[in-house]
């Protein structure tokens, strides 16, 4: 994002410096623990656009904005066909006349960027097939609540290097921690992403060996093997079966390692029920922190 930009969009973690990201998380923590919900956004409206459905994203943004005093309007793919009949840019220009901030959850990363370029109000990336920045801001908040500063720590990701993993990669560089990714070759991060990591001096390592990735890690993280846009479920299950986080793999991590998952999860697939429901799992705190992290993002975007 250009420093000269009059609008503060929140599009991808790697676009912002560490100080900015830290300020967002600090504000999120302050808002989370405020005895009375401060309501600075009375009279302001957040538009939520969902081309992909979501329980957590919708509820966390709606409740969060209302706690901040604002109003919310929610539009689904059935109600608004972004880029069909009206250009995305024109939709952004029109919505900017009605609302104060926009969140878009979609498949296509290009739609978020086109919307942000045309809108005269902030745009938040609620998820694309390429990244999921709001989720990982919540994950960093969750880790630090349980284990202190994440800088210098080790996080292990197992499974598909998908959009959630992509934002973990961005976070590893910006928050200065080591990220080990255990995944099959067919589902590893792109060469472009790893070239960016190298150029930034990040500590992101890709391996086929989940045991090596898990050894001594302070957090174990995974995601569902089959997302809404995947058409090859049987093949993906076969590829990813060796990467399940189970009691044995958790036992290789640090004794105080935590388990995280952005949800929804499938017990017995990417994670065993014993780990997901066990004492090292912080998934429900993680889910709650989506709301608090996003309140920090909303606050940053709406602060002149």
Q: Which residues are catalytic?
A: 105, 132, 135, 223, 262, 290
Query: What strands lie across the sheet with 258-261, from one edge to the other?
Result: 204-207, 178-182, 154-158, 219-222, 258-261
Token pair, residue 96, equals 């900017």
Token pair, residue 31, equals 């808002």
Report how far apart, in Å, the C-alpha atoms of 135 and of each of 107, 142, 163 are. 16, 10, 10
Listing DSSP states for 36-97 in one string gives S---TTTT-EEEEEESS--HHHHHHHHHHHHHTT-EEEEEETTT--TTSSS-HHHHHHHHHH
CB neighbour burial string for 258-267, b if at least 16 within 10 angstroms, e if fewer: bbbbbbebee
Contact (Cβ atoms closer than 8 angstroms) between residue 121 and residue 101: yes
Token pair, residue 134, equals 């709001």
């Amino acid at each position: 994002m250009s420093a000269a930009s009059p609008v503060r969009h929140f599009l991808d973690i790697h676009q912002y410096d560490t100080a900015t990201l830290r300020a967002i998380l600090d504000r999120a923590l302050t808002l989370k623990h405020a005895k009375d919900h401060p309501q600075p956004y009375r009279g302001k409206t957040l538009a939520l656009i969902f081309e992909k459905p979501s329980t957590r994203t919708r509820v966390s943004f709606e409740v969060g904005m209302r706690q901040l005093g604002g109003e919310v309007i929610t539009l689904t793919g059935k109600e608004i066909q972004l880029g069909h009949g009206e250009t995305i840019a024109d939709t952004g220009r029109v919505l900017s006349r009605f609302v104060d901030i926009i969140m878009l959850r979609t498949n296509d990363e290009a739609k978020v960027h086109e919307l942000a370029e045309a809108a005269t109000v902030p745009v938040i990336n609620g998820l694309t097939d390429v990244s999921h920045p709001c989720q990982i801001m919540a994950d960093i908040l969750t880790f630090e609540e349980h284990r202190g500063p994440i800088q210098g720590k080790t996080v292990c990701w197992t499974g598909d290097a998908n959009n959630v993993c992509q934002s973990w990669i961005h976070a590893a560089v910006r928050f200065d921690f080591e990220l080990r990714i255990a995944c099959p070759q067919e589902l590893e991060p792109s060469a472009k992403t790893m070239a960016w990591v190298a150029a930034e001096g990040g500590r992101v390592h890709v391996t086929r060996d989940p045991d090596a990735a898990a050894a001594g890690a302070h957090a174990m993280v995974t995601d569902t093997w089959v997302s809404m846009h995947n058409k090859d479920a049987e093949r993906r299950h076969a590829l990813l079966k060796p990467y399940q986080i189970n009691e044995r793999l958790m036992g290789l991590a640090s004794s105080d390692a935590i388990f995280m998952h952005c949800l929804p999860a499938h017990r017995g697939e990417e994670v065993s029920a014993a780990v997901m429901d066990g004492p090292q799992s912080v998934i429900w705190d993680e889910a709650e922190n989506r709301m608090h992290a996003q309140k920090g993002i909303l606050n940053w975007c709406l602060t002149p």
